[in-house]
Amino acid sequence: MPYLALLAGCLACSTSVLWIKLSHVDPVLLTGLRLAIAATALAPWAVRDWRRHRAELNWTHLRDSALPGLVLAVHFFSWIYGARLTLATNGSLIVNLTPIATPFLLAALSSERVTRREVIATLLAATGLLILFVTDFRLSAETFYGDVVCLGSMVLFALYLVLGRKFRHHPTTMLYVTPLYAIAAAASFGVAALVGSPWPTDWRAEAPWVLLLALLPTIIGHSLLNRAMRQMRGQVVAVVNMSQFVFAGMFAWMALGERPHAAFYPAAFLVVAAGVVAAGAGWRWRRSARAVSDAT
């Protein structure tokens, strides 16, 4: 069941590149809007959970939602900007290559070491990245620049996910992600005001993409990813999350007419193989943990 929820979250997140490319709202303002809608929509569930667990809550829980919220806001800025400069398949693959960065972040922030099978999965993912980068550098300088921006955004995404693993002491996922989204939205609107982000003139055309961006990849996708980080090993989540790239490639082909070039197919194969290896590692870890629990 946790794996099905994780895959559902990956599927929902993979649609973000479509709504980003179809929308023309400024990246900083678009970030604030999607996060504000998400925080507002989830508020009733957060209030319900607060009433149930308020005796065990204190200000540190809010503090521990603030830092990942700020990281998420900057990740969204850079992701939206980079996704508009490259192919949907490329951007989705690169921004989800978190397994390259998460081992170091997990060790530093959560004292969680990767297993041998997780290392194999990570190497498969890194090979996919290499294939894509070499091909893009030869084909298009503009696409390559977008890929580099997405690579920086990937590091921020990895940090955001690992912080979710570190701060899993929140009683429920809603009590973690709802203030996180709200803090990230407030920071985004503040930056938008400082830099003078222009508001769109045709809200009727932009509203569907903003709402879909808030509903699918944010409310459903990111919430399920954070839930998975609470329940599963961090590196397993990071590797399986790369399946977004395959989903995004199919959606972009159907909706945007972006036909992936030849490098997409070997990269996609390596991503799927990495996910299978990581899922096997996670299953063995869960079985071992259950055995230890039963023995004690």
CA-based nearest residue to 82, from 158, 15, 148, 16: 148
Instruction: Give the other-Cβ count within 10 Å of 217's Cβ.
Output: 26
For residue 67, the number of C-alpha atoms closer than 13 Å in the C-beta half-sphere is 13
How far is C-alpha 131 from the chain's CA centre? 22
In angstroms and rounded to an integer, the radius of gyration of the C-alpha atoms of the chain is 19
Q: Are 13 and 217 in contact (CB under 8 A)?
A: yes
The sign one gets for the Cα dihedral 46, 214, 169, 121 is positive
| Amino acid at position 3, single letter | Y
For residue 96, the 8-state DSSP code is T
pLDDT, tens only, 76-123: 999 999 988 887 777 777 787 788 889 899 999 988 988 888 888 888
Contact residues for 271 (Cβ-Cβ < 8 A; gap 6+): 93, 124, 125, 128, 242, 243, 245, 246
Percent of the chain at pLDDT > 70 equals: 91
pLDDT, tens only, 215-247: 999 999 999 999 999 989 898 898 888 888 778
Q: Are 174 and 52 in contact (CB under 8 A)?
A: no
CA-based nearest residue to 238, from 228, 248, 246, 247: 228
pLDDT, tens only, 48-74: 999 999 999 999 999 999 999 999 999
Q: Are 255 and 39 in contact (CB under 8 A)?
A: no
Over range 40-52, report the average pLDDT: 97
How far is C-alpha 285 from the chain's CA centre? 23
pLDDT, tens only, 175-196: 999 999 999 999 999 999 999 9
For 77, the token pair is 């800025």
Q: Are 88 and 21 in contact (CB under 8 A)?
A: yes
Between helices 88-95 and 244-256, what is the axis angle to 10°? 160
pLDDT, tens only, 264-288: 788 878 877 887 787 765 555 455 5
What distance in Å separates the CA atoms of residue 252 and residue 51, rounded to the nearest whole number? 42
Contact residues for 39 (Cβ-Cβ < 8 A; gap 6+): 178, 179, 181, 182, 185
What distance in Å separates the CA atoms of residue 48 and residue 50, rounded to the nearest whole number? 5
